[in-house]
């Protein structure tokens, strides 16, 4: 099996080759190849990040997985923009824990120019305090808005494609992956790095997971968060069956093999891999979203760092 050697040598894993991997090799062997690629391009370094829900609920979009859509009754908390001081307090907490990145995240399709100012005030305050990189997830913005955020200290834009282009219309009808790609390109033109990934386990096929990984490779994103669906009561996906252990590990490995230089990031739904997350870290993952998620409780930060130390990773 020479997949890792090919990729380390500058080759690329095509969609067709990636789709055929489970037919040719065991999941364990594929994961081992992915770990060799991670070790070559990223060494023992693990990128850590955290998020804060800066505006919650009342989203106009109809994404079938999301607790924050106003179209579903999920019991999600609803509140307006958090204050700059509250954002600073949370950022300082995460910085004190040793986390590298902090992101503000807002519900909704986009953010108005007047509300961009609120976010810029928060970013400026955190930037001036120092010690942590700033990211933002604010929907479908334009270049002039990204330029304002970058001037305030934001260095990375997050916008998940969520799933394969061929499957996305089955899960959301109020915007398109094309809309997301336009925003991603506008952010990059404003000098921002890009974080974009998706959710696995929403009913997509393995081939569609490969399609998503290939699309992200084409965009050259810097960070790829992989979320595992946590079905939320009240959403159309509430009864979606969970993925198996092998399906999850295979996804992490394939995303690594198709995106050798990007950080493949543990994100939402880590409770689904609690019993084998150390194995997942040896299957291509190189980054972790720590602390609570947007609408669900996350993992213990201290326990995560103990796990990384036990495995010999640097953070």
CA pair distance 269, 238, nearest whole angstrom: 14
Task: Write out pLDDT tens, residues 25-71.
Answer: 999 999 999 999 999 999 999 999 999 999 887 798 999 999 888 88
| Residue 119 to residue 290: CA distance in whole angstroms | 22
Could you tell me if 69 and 61 are in contact, meaning their C-beta atoms sit under 8 angstroms apart?
yes
Higher pLDDT, 230 or 296: 230
In a domain, 244, yes or no: yes
- Cα–Cα distance between 143 and 90 in angstroms, integer? 28
The pLDDT value recorded for residue 293 is 61
C-alpha distances (whole Å) from 37 to each of 176, 210, 216, 220, 274 are: 32, 17, 17, 17, 24
Phi-psi label, residue 29: left if phi above 0, alpha if psi -120 to 50, beta otherwise:
alpha
Contact 277, 57 (CB under 8 A): no
Residues 6+ apart with CB under 8 A from 221: 184, 194, 195, 196, 197, 259, 262
Residue 313 domain-assigned?
Answer: no
Residue 34 lies in a domain: yes
Domain membership of residue 265 (yes or no) is: yes
**Residue 261 structure tokens:** 């230089």
Alpha-carbon distance 224 to 265, whole Å? 6
Higher pLDDT among residues 75 and 306, named by residue: 306
Q: What is the pLDDT of residue 74?
A: 77
Is 299:76 a contact under the CB 8 Å cutoff? Answer: no
pLDDT score for 23: 97
> DSSP alpha helices (H): ranges in 56-112?
84-97
pLDDT in tens, 202-238: 999 999 999 999 999 999 999 999 999 999 999 999 9
CATH number of the domain to which 47 belongs? 3.20.20.70
Backbone angles phi, psi at 267, to 5 degrees: -135, -130
Decide if 2 is inside a domain: no
Measured over the CA atoms of residue 261, residue 254, residue 279 and residue 294, the dihedral's sign is: positive
Joined together, the tokens standing for residue 133 give: 């990189």
Residue 89, domain extent: 13-306
Q: Is the pLDDT of residue 295 over 70?
A: no
Q: Residue 49 domain-assigned?
A: yes
- Local confidence band at 294 (pLDDT 50, 70, 90 cut-offs): low
Q: How far is CA 297 from CA 150, 163, 219, 230, 270, in A?
A: 29, 23, 31, 11, 10
**CA separation for the pair 247, 200 (Å, rounded):** 9
* Residue 157 domain flag: yes
Number of domains in the chain: 1
> Is residue 312 a part of any domain in this protein?
no
Q: What is the pLDDT of residues 260-279, one digit of tens each?
A: 999 999 998 887 788 888 99
């Amino acid at each position: 099996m020479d997949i890792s050697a090919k990729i380390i040598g500058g080759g690329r894993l095509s969609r067709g080759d990636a789709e055929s991997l489970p037919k040719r090799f065991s999941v364990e062997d594929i994961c081992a190849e992915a770990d060799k690629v991670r070790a070559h391009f990223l060494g023992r370094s693990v990128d850590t990040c955290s998020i804060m829900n800066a505006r919650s609920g009342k989203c106009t979009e109809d994404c079938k997985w999301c607790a924050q859509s106003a179209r579903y009754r999920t019991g999600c908390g609803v509140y307006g923009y958090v204050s700059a001081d509250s954002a600073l307090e949370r950022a300082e907490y995460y910085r004190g824990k040793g986390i590298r990145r902090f992101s503000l995240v807002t519900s909704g399709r986009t953010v108005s120019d007047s509300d961009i100012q609120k976010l810029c005030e928060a970013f400026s305050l955190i930037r001036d305090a120092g010690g942590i990189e700033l990211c933002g997830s604010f929907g479908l913005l334009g270049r002039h808005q990204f330029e304002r955020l970058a001037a305030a200290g934001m260095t990375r834009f997050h916008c998940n494609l969520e799933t394969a282009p061929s499957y996305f219309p089955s899960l959301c009808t109020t915007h398109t992956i094309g809309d997301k790609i336009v925003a991603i390109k506008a952010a990059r033109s404003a000098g921002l790095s890009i974080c974009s990934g998706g959710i696995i386990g929403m009913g997509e096929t393995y081939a569609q997971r490969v399609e998503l990984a290939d699309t992200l490779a084409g965009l050259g994103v810097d960070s790829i968060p992989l979320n595992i669906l946590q079905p939320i009561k009240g959403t159309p996906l509430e009864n979606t069956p969970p993925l198996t252990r092998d399906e999850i590990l295979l996804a992490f490995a394939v995303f690594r093999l198709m995106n050798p230089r990007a950080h493949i990031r543990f994100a939402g739904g880590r409770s689904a891999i609690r019993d084998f997350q150390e194995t997942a870290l040896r299957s291509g993952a190189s980054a972790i979203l720590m602390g609570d998620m947007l609408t669900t409780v996350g993992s213990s930060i201290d326990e995560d760092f103990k796990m990384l130390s036990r495995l010999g990773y640097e953070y």
